[in-house]
Amino acid sequence: MNRNLFHTEVFVEELARCGLRHVCLSPGSRNTPLVLAFAKHPRIQVSSHLDERSAGFFALGLAMATRQAVAVVCTSGSAAANYFPAVVEASQSRVPLLVLTADRPPELRYSGANQTIDQPKIYGNYALWSVEIPSPDAAPSALSVRHVKAVAARAMSIASGTPKAEAAGVVHVNLPFRPPLEPTEVKGDVLSTPTDALGQPDQPYVSMTTSGPGPAGAERVESLAALIAQHPKGAIVGGVDWTCDDELAQAIETLSQASGYPIFSDALSGLRNGPAHSLGAFETYFAGKHPLPAPELVVRIGNVPTSKWLNDWLDKARPKHVIHLSQDGVWADDQYRVTQFVYADRRATALALAAKLGQSLPPSSAWREQFERAERIAWQVFADAANGVTRPGEWFDAVVAHDVAALLPDGATLFAGNSLPVRHIDQFAQPSQKRLRIIANRGASGIDGNVSTALGLAHADPNQPLALLIGDVTLYHDMNGLLAVRRCGIPVTIVLLNNNGGGIFRRLPIKDFEPEFTQHFITPHDLDFAHVAKLYSLEYANPTTRAEFQAVFAQSVNQRKAMLIEVKTDSRQDLRLRQAIVNEVLYQSLNQVGLN
């Protein structure tokens, strides 16, 4: 027994828990760990085939007869290519087929190594999903084990036509292995599942259900509502989601009231501003290691949140259940904590859950009040710090971000540039009932094209004001996009946080390594952006106090100007003042009655 056998046994066991009952094996060396794991599993029927092409079609017929996903397993190299005709037929006929290809480790690709070809995504568009599981580790972390289990559950679900595909079809999982491939003992290999990845006994690690565009079914709603009722200490987490509207926000608020769960809303979630009463200062109090209790159950909507410390708190909480209400069926959980993946209409499902919970006793307010108390302390500490920051030498990026969100009128749009601006907005844009749409390019989180994306948003709705909060490197990266302001007649207020380089890197360990840090990470440029404003026919301002900034920003937004407001700051001081706020929030919280 070694890491390879442990890895494949975890994978095969999860496939069995998700309903796999048949597998077709073909001989080879690299697929030995998979063959052995399948051969010894009591709930999976194994058939052996000498030729992969025949094995693929045999599995196709077996899947047609049973109307269930069937797996095929082969070794590395051209063996995988011999499945291609059956893969094409399964794709065209919408037959659930799970193709498991063993592979040489990544370092042997493109090296001339024997029996090594480019296997990932070999079936192209004929596969509904292609994924590679990394080579097994000697001492697998809980995260890596959860990943293996989640891939197994998702593979079975997608091959069967859920949660996202319109019909059943092919899923390809590539599994690279390093020797030894046989069940020989390897000293130092850890062969037990971490407690944090065990899941529920005899149950799939992830339950995948789908209702498509409609609400979750009545039986599913009842089971989820029962889970929530059994776990009164829970949380609702709204991640990045540019599609969330007021109707969904109101439904989430209704679920929050019925469950007693506080809402932790990313600034980009669509829940921070509007009908939902949410929390928004969590990056401040969780960064200070605030002693708030861990939730037993989490309800998630949207993508992974921006906040590093919220994600860290949720991961370390190890909740028994994580329910993800997904509108589009796309997986969005990089820690693989989701245990109930529900592809259904989120608004209808949230309202159905709230109605079901409303039939039981009202939730206690004590659980929620702990987080609301921490929230009040955090905003008061920030307000005290912001009101004292009035001298040019004490200018603080976070105050600018806070004021931009606070001063924009109802119905306005705020586009947050990547790197520091979006993080400042997430930490310091205070929740309100004002309808403010906050958007950023968080799909790939690049700094490219941020200016142009914001201008496209503004051009689509010229009757509503738009502000762009952006950093100096990000603005420089898409400076030519500013030409659209004049060519398309776009009124936009651009707030430039100019700390003369990549200030976000001061949050990373590389900050301690000079001279490389300054030269290659901070990359000071010493650009004068007044010239940029002149080049692109923008009005220009360079306020040096908070009062000056508030006045010029409000004027630009209200008069619908095309203006560049440059705020020159110091990234060292920005980091220092931010940390001082975090420390003060923790200090005051620990000295509040009931939080010792």
Question: Which has the higher per-residue pLDDT, 97 or 210?
Answer: 97
Model pLDDT, residue 390: 45
pLDDT confidence band for 212 (50 / 70 / 90): low
* Mean pLDDT across 97-117: 94
pLDDT in tens, 234-279: 999 999 999 999 999 999 999 999 999 999 999 999 999 999 999 9
Strand order in the sheet with 97-103: 45-48, 22-25, 70-74, 97-103, 170-176, 127-132
Query: What's the longest Cα–Cα distance across the chain?
Result: 79
* Mean pLDDT, residues 436-455: 95
- Residue 442 has which token pair? 């968080």
pLDDT in tens, 329-364: 899 999 999 999 999 999 999 999 999 999 887 888
In percent, the amount of the chain with pLDDT more than 90 equals 85
Residue 231: the pLDDT is: 96
pLDDT exceeds 90 at position 305: yes
For residues 263 and 276, the answer to whether their CB atoms sit within 8 Å is yes
pLDDT bin (cut points 50, 70, 90) of residue 594 is very low
Q: Is the pLDDT of residue 465 over 60?
A: yes
592 — pLDDT class (breaks 50, 70, 90): confident
CA-atom Rg of the chain in angstroms: 27
b/e burial code for range 288-306 (CB count within 10 A of at least 16 → b): bebebeebbbbbbbbbbbb
* Residue 260 zone, left/alpha/beta (φ > 0; ψ -120 to 50; rest): left
Residues 511-524 have a mean pLDDT of 91
pLDDT at residue 164 greater than cutoff 70? no
* 3-state secondary structure (DSSP) of residue 252: helix
Per-residue pLDDT at 98 exceeds 80: yes
Average pLDDT, the chain: 93
Asked if 408 and 414 count as a contact pair (C-beta separation under 8 A), the reply is: yes
Question: Could you tell me the domains of the chain?
Answer: 3-183 (3.40.50.970), 207-370 (3.40.50.1220), 389-582 (3.40.50.970)
Give the Å distances, CA to CA, from 541 to 369, 494, 497: 43, 10, 12
Q: Which of 163-167, 283-287, 326-330, 477-481 has the lowest mean pLDDT?
A: 163-167
Work out the average pLDDT over 48-68.
95
Confidence of residue 167 (pLDDT cuts 50, 70, 90): confident
